[in-house]
Copies of this chain bind each other. A is one copy, B any other.
Amino acid sequence: MAAAADGFRTLDEKSVVDYIKATPTLHAQLGNQLDGLVVKEVGDGNLNFVYIVVGPAGSLVIKQALPYIRCIGESWPMTKERAYFEALALKEHGRWSPDHVPEVYHFDRPMSLIAMRYLKPPHIILRKGLIAGIEYPLLAQHMSDYMAKTLFFTSLLYHSTLDHRHAVAEFCGNVELCRLTEQVIFSDPYRVAQYNRWTSPYLDHDAEAVREDDTLKIEVAELKSNFCERAQALIHGDLHTGSIMVTGDSTQVIDPEFAFYGPMGFDIGAFLGNLILAFFAQDGHADKGNDRQAYKQWILKTTEETWNLFQKKFISLWDEHKDGNGEAYPVSIYNKPELQLLVQKRYMAGLFHDALGFGAAKMIRRIVGVAHVEDFESIADASKRAYCERRALDFAKMLLKERRRFQSINQVISAIQEIPAC
């Protein structure tokens, strides 16, 4: 295919090989053996093509962004410049959390193309593991580590305001992806919108109730303003369980194309909220061989541990770097251990409530908005699916509205456990 004026051309399984051969920086990763490369397109996302390239002496992944949202077709255009921000975020987050972010080998801006580490089998998408009922004993440890590091080191607790504003300005360029989030998370679920869907007719009333819940709408406006206005840290921007690949001992965060400087709670909430969605979906996956009761408890334990470990690690980083360049809490002012403790407590309480709010908003939109989750979609029986979805939706609505009364993640977990079977 001929290149467009901007140097962009869509690759396919065949032309990917030509591209690799013409790109010397990629050869070392393939052990310089370019004959016999096997290419497989595996993109199950909505926005990109993803090619796994395996050769006799090495492997890599090529991800190419397309100028529209794939699942809807060219009717929903989406800037392919997002690949630039994805590459930037992979590098910046990878710098702080190299154990949990795949290495970038090469970025080609005109081609909107990133070459990165191939996460070999048995890596699978975490969401699929959760549906299958697989326990990941290191998941809370790994995800809390990833979030604590990527969020702390890109915040004003570590950055000077000079570095921070510079980085904020750069990521303002990723506005189109932010707008997509604003629309599908903070707006569409709360109004009649073309692409909204839900398990009908079971949830018709529930979807309508969301659109008519004034208290919910007031709270969502506050979260949206936070999302649009507050440049707290470089966030992943789409940190659900479909953006994480796992094995028993590896956890890798991928696809940060929505990255920008936003509220930290948006990332933390995305992960916790999607774990809670997985919890509510379990009843739909139970069968005679496995009632999923033990697994449900494992999900809750992981949810709880993720926040508690995150909090512990985040505060450790803060203590460790309190004499550094971070300008939020200069040690010349916050100069006593007891004062340091007080500001940290206040900061973490705010962050916790942000995370609960954003997490709840992300749960709601997965049930009555455009993009649903496989956790529920894979429950074939619609009435059973609707049952699971309604319990998740009701919990999320309560959490969004009453998040400020929760003082600890343990209280949130207890509230989940106390929900009766309807």
Write the residues of chain A forming the contact surface with B, with a CB cutoff of 8 angstroms: 156, 161-162, 164-166, 168-170, 172-173, 175-176, 178-179, 182, 187, 190-192, 214, 217-218, 221-222, 224-225, 228-232, 327-330, 332-336, 338-339, 342-343, 346
Contact = CB atoms under 8 A, between A and B. Distances in A.
Given A175-B162, A214-B342, A191 B330 contact: yes
A151 to B, nearest CB: 13
B165 A178 contact: yes
Contact of A217 (B172, B187, B334): B334
Contacts of A229: 156, 230-232
Contacts of A172: 165-166, 168-169, 172
A342 B219 CA distance: 11
B225 A346 contact: no
Most chain B CB within 10 A, of A192, A225, A230, is at A225
Given A187-B332, A191-B335, 15 more contacts: A156-B228, A161-B228, A165-B178, A166-B175, A168-B169, A169-B172, A169-B173, A187-B330, A187-B333, A214-B338, A214-B339, A217-B339, A221-B343, A222-B346, A230-B230
28 contacts: A156-B228, A156-B229, A161-B228, A162-B176, A162-B179, A165-B175, A165-B178, A166-B172, A166-B175, A168-B168, A168-B169, A169-B169, A169-B172, A182-B327, A187-B330, A187-B332, A187-B333, A190-B333, A191-B330, A192-B332, A214-B336, A214-B339, A217-B339, A217-B343, A218-B342, A221-B343, A224-B328, A225-B328
Nearest to A160: B179
Given A221-B343, A334-B221, A328 B228 contact: yes
Interface class of chain A by DSSP: helix
A298 B176 CA distance: 49
A218 B328 contact: no
Contacts of A176: 162
A356 to B, nearest CB: 18
A222 B329 CA distance: 10
Contact of A221 (B178, B328, B336): B328
A196 to B, nearest CB: 12
A191 B336 CA distance: 12
A261 to B, nearest CB: 8
A141 B329 CA distance: 38
Nearest to A233: B229
Contacts of A173: 169
A144 to B, nearest CB: 23
Q: Which 7 A-B pairs have the closest CB atoms?
A: A169-B172, A165-B175, A169-B169, A165-B172, A191-B332, A190-B333, A191-B333
Contacts of A191: 330, 332-333, 335
Contacts of A335: 191
